[in-house]
Structure 1
Amino acid sequence: MKLNIKETFTKELPADPILENTRRQVVESCFSFVNPKKTARPKLVHSSFEMAEEIGLSREDLDSESFLNVFTGNKVMPDTKPYAMCYGGHQFGNWAGQLGDGRAINLTEIEHNQKRWALQLKGAGETPYSRTADGLAVLRSSIREYLCSEAMYHLGVPTTRALSLALTGDQVLRDVLYNGNPAYEKGAIVCRVAPSFLRFGNYEIFAARQDDKTLRILTDYTLRHFFSHLGKPSKETYLKFFQEVTDRTLHMILHWQRVGFVHGVMNTDNMSILGLTIDYGPYGWLESYDKGWTPNTTDSQFKRYRYGNQSNIGLWNLYQLANALFPLIGEAAPLEAILESYKTNYQIEYLEMMKSKIGLFTDDSEDVQLINSLEENLELTETDMTIFFRKLGNLKKEINRENAILDLVNDAFYAPNEIQGEICKKWEGWFSAYIKRLNKEKLTDKERRARMNTINPKYVLRNYMAQLAIDAADKDDYSIIDELFLLLKNPYDEQVKYEKWFVKRPEWARHKVGCSMLSCSS
């Protein structure tokens, strides 16, 4: 196994001079050197050949003992020095101080086909940033991250990727719901891959400590390697940098809303500076369309990170990044102007995204009202988001009987018998207005359906699907992991042989841990 090592992070940024792996405050440093913890009986559960090719590995490499040892933390590659990053963050709206890579260890950076990648092991042991935790991960959460990051990529959502999923052979103690009932679970490690794992918190920590020198060094490094098209470091370039991060963050969240994804824990230390979905913890997919839903039990009271609030939290987090970059810019007004543009752009782009989901690709003065009415109707009774929008593509403009139209989306309703009386009238009124609006579009029914089917996925990683894979894997059966991995590579295709996954959440999953209730340990 041979990779084209091109390390920059550890060579160009200030390192923690203390080499002992002890919990501590790390100052004036962007990272600490630390080696992964050796595992007892490593076993490869699954790997992504597609991702392997991206970084320059062959199928033979994936089957090698060297690959298993490196990507389970049992061997350090020659000419590399693994490390954990130092960063801070706002958690649930409050400054948490130093956080850092508490259970992630970066192996190295590589270059292949003119693309840069950082390789990181999640669950590889303690680091100076682990605080009171063990730095390990369990099979349950590792399966969720492995499957979801690759599923998101194929959905067209900006995301980190996954290379491999492996068992460690160790047992790890976890309290799934933080309710005082810890239990031992199978330990596991995921290798995740991204151009960089830098997040908002990397910059916040230095601003909070008034360490402008290290802040500038890190920001200039970021510009040099990931935003070089913006020009050399200067006040103007820093503003362009913030504008692009703002645009990327907005773009990412719009994709989340499009496919019904809820991140669950949008703390600033979980926000990628590259606008990638990062840190797959208590995430979830909307089953019923509910703007107030959050999958995170820790957030169940205030629902800060609920589906309908993700754009607002993105803006709040960008305010924190603006505060962190302010020492390099010295003026608030231009930063505030960029933040104001986020609000305006979100409203415009959200409308366009929702219109595209229902097959409207031209402008009309009544489109805002049509979308607002649709969203109100979707919450009148429990309605499956994925199925509704996918089935809507089958509508034919010449159908004018409302009950026939409702039959098209009947499978999306969890309680079809509730579609009567006032609810039925509201749906009939909406479909009547919708068909009238569709007739202003030039696309044929077939053309519209084809376009809608590239926007509305047929298959997403519903929580119950991931839980089925987890339950089977606990019994050493990895067939569902493999089936879902293949299914989710083509989420917009019909895939008749996988039709069993195009269904509403089963009733048994409504209140099952892992399907409806998740925590940050998930």
Structure 2
Amino acid sequence: MTAHTLDELRVLNTYAALPAPFYTRLSPQPLNAPRLLHANPEAAALIGLDRGALGTPEFLAVFSGAQPLPGGDTLAAVYSGHQFGIWAGQLGDGRAHLLGEVAGPQGRWELQLKGSGMTPYSRMGDGRAVLRSSVREYLASEAMHGLGIPTTRALALVVSDDPVMRETVETAAIVTRMSPSFVRFGSFEHWSARRQPDMLRTLADYVIDHDYPECRMPPAGEPADDKAPYVALLREVTRRTAELMADWQAVGFCHGVMNTDNMSILGLTLDYGPYGFMDGFRLDHVCNHSDSEGRYSWNRQPSVALWNLYRLGGSLHMLVQDVDALRAVLDEFEGIFTRAFHERARAKLGLAAWRPDDEPLLDDLLRLMHANHADFTLSWRRLSDAVRGERQAFEDLFIDRPAAGAWLDRLLARQAGDGRPPAEVAQAMDAVNPLYVLRNHLAEEAIQAAKRGDAGEIDTLLTLLRAPCQARPGYEKYAALPPDWASSIEVSCSS
């Protein structure tokens, strides 16, 4: 039954039931004179909350940090992690508060405030988030969901005139994030680094029982083994992470900060900081201005994900103690990722089935796009125009038009070998190659409007990004090449 008020939500506190060292119980630090800039009815529906509840004073009070979630047990979680490949030691929710877990009509969702004040894990931070980064996270999580990519969700965006010092003085905001779990790879590293196997086992058992109960089932024909569930957990996380990387690569998404504390144990896209959807394609594109060495460039994301999985596997070794079993699971990553990426490329290229000899066709397109700095999203989208006989739209994206035309001839010949009608192929390609993505300049325009108290651009973008492959007359500017000023936008870890 749909809940009409926050009081009617069925709130659980399973993470709060873990032993005390997993978190610190504390209240958020509310914003002064908070204003609800935007609320997301689609996310609200996931927890059974009616649209009418979103504009109430009670809703604003809870999601500005002024009041607890009714029935919730508010806390900040501890974890550790590797940041830019270097062990950073203890980290944790330095500006986030977990309000509770809601059992909704479509599963369980934890509600977390981000930007809600200092915690014991804030280190040198002030516990706040700024409007700029909060708008970007609010939009990005919904954009990724629209693309069918596993992600956290966003429920509400609350703003205030409270000053926050970054490179300049900005204003504060709180974004409410939703996820079935906010446990990270770094949550496991924390207890492994502290040499506390009992706490590590408690966490692993919690994650398995809460999110991966199938890992308790022994493989057919094999005897029960008390260590097998932990191997099975690593296998499932490896699979989900490999497929997530294929999803990111297929849409030109760069996370920007793939630290182990930003890697979800559920294989979700977690922690939207200096992310970016590529405009002009570069194989080694780096979206994070703070990443001076290019550790998290687009082409390195899959290998970094595997590196992070090795850190998770190393933590679980304390429970499993069978190096060969863990390594065998991690060795599955490359094959899973490659098959998943090829499947996405197959659909994007309009092929009926992937063949090994299609690899040069894909590689040559990426090289051509890289050499010409061709727009990533439009290069893929306009392939369907070429299939319909309108080659110019695709070729116009390339400085070397003859090379683009020659490659296109190869694609069309390959498609013809499948024997499908071109109109059918083009329609299928349009269903998987998005027209609208959250480009940096579109997010920036929404941020500037939000600074004026105008959420209209957020509304427009959410409408387009929820169905990113569907062309909408009148919204051509949102699918156009970026303006020249977009190249000056820099995103970093400063948010």
TM-score interval for Structure 1 and Structure 2 normalised by the shorter chain: over 0.9
> Are 1:197 and 2:170 an aligned pair?
no
- Give distance in 2, aligned partners of 1:480 and 1:438: 39
> Are 1:519 and 2:472 an aligned pair?
no
Counterpart mapping for 1:82-161 below 5 A: 82-113=74-105, 115-161=107-153
Aligned partner of 2:293 in structure 1 is 302
8 Å contact kept, 1:385–1:412:
no
- Give distance in 2, aligned partners of 1:364 and 1:125: 53
Offset from partner CA, 1:332-351 (integer Å, 9 cap, x none): 10111111111222223322
> Are 1:14 and 2:6 an aligned pair?
no
Q: Please tell me the residue identity of whatever aligns with 2:311.
A: Q
Q: Please tell me the residue identity of whatever aligns with 2:14.
A: T
8 Å contact kept, 1:272–1:278:
yes
8 Å contact kept, 2:36–2:158:
yes
| Matching residue within 416, 419, 425 for 1:448 | 425
1:258: how far off? 1.0
> Are 1:266 and 2:258 an aligned pair?
yes
Counterpart mapping for 1:133-282 below 5 A: 133-175=125-167, 183-231=168-216, 234-282=226-274
- Give distance in 2, aligned partners of 1:365 and 1:66: 58
How many residues are treated as equivalent by the alignment?
Answer: 482
- After superposition, the CA RMSD in angstroms is 1.5
- Give distance in 2, aligned partners of 1:51 and 1:167: 19
Offset from partner CA, 1:315-344 (integer Å, 9 cap, x none): 000000000110110111011111111122
Aligned partner of 1:390 in structure 2 is 381
What is the percentage of aligned positions where both structures have the same residue? 41
1:365: how far off? 4.5
Q: Please tell me the residue identity of whatever aligns with 2:194.
A: R
8 Å contact kept, 2:283–2:299:
yes
| Matching residue within 363, 375, 387 for 2:366 | 375
- Give distance in 2, aligned partners of 1:134 and 1:364: 53
8 Å contact kept, 1:149–1:159:
yes
| Structure 1 alignment gaps of length 5 or more | 16-28, 176-182
The residue matched to 1:277 in structure 2 has which SS? coil
1:367 to 1:77, Cα distance in 2 relative to 1, 3 A: closer
> Are 1:338 and 2:329 an aligned pair?
yes
1:58: how far off? 1.1
| Matching residue within 26, 30, 34 for 1:34 | 26
The residue matched to 1:62 in structure 2 has which SS? helix
- Give distance in 2, aligned partners of 1:470 and 1:269: 27
- Give distance in 1, aligned partners of 2:159 and 2:286: 29
1:449: how far off? 1.5
1:114: how far off? 5.5
Aligned partner of 1:317 in structure 2 is 308
Aligned partner of 1:498 in structure 2 is 475
- Give distance in 2, aligned partners of 1:452 and 1:396: 9
Aligned partner of 1:466 in structure 2 is 443
8 Å contact kept, 2:253–2:277:
yes
1:504: how far off? 0.9
Q: Please tell me the residue identity of whatever aligns with 2:266.
A: L
1:411: how far off? 4.7
- Give distance in 2, aligned partners of 1:168 and 1:54: 27
Aligned partner of 1:20 in structure 2 is none
8 Å contact kept, 1:72–1:168:
no
- Give distance in 1, aligned partners of 2:349 and 2:182: 35
- Give distance in 1, aligned partners of 2:98 and 2:379: 41
The residue matched to 2:103 in structure 1 has which SS? strand
- Give distance in 1, aligned partners of 2:283 and 2:207: 35
Offset from partner CA, 1:92-125 (integer Å, 9 cap, x none): 0011000000011101111012510100000000
Offset from partner CA, 1:259-313 (integer Å, 9 cap, x none): 11100000000000000000000000110111111111111x3101001111000
What TM-score comes out, normalization by structure 1 length?
0.90
> Are 1:64 and 2:56 an aligned pair?
yes
Q: Please tell me the residue identity of whatever aligns with 1:191.
A: T
- Give distance in 1, aligned partners of 2:149 and 2:419: 29
8 Å contact kept, 2:273–2:492:
yes
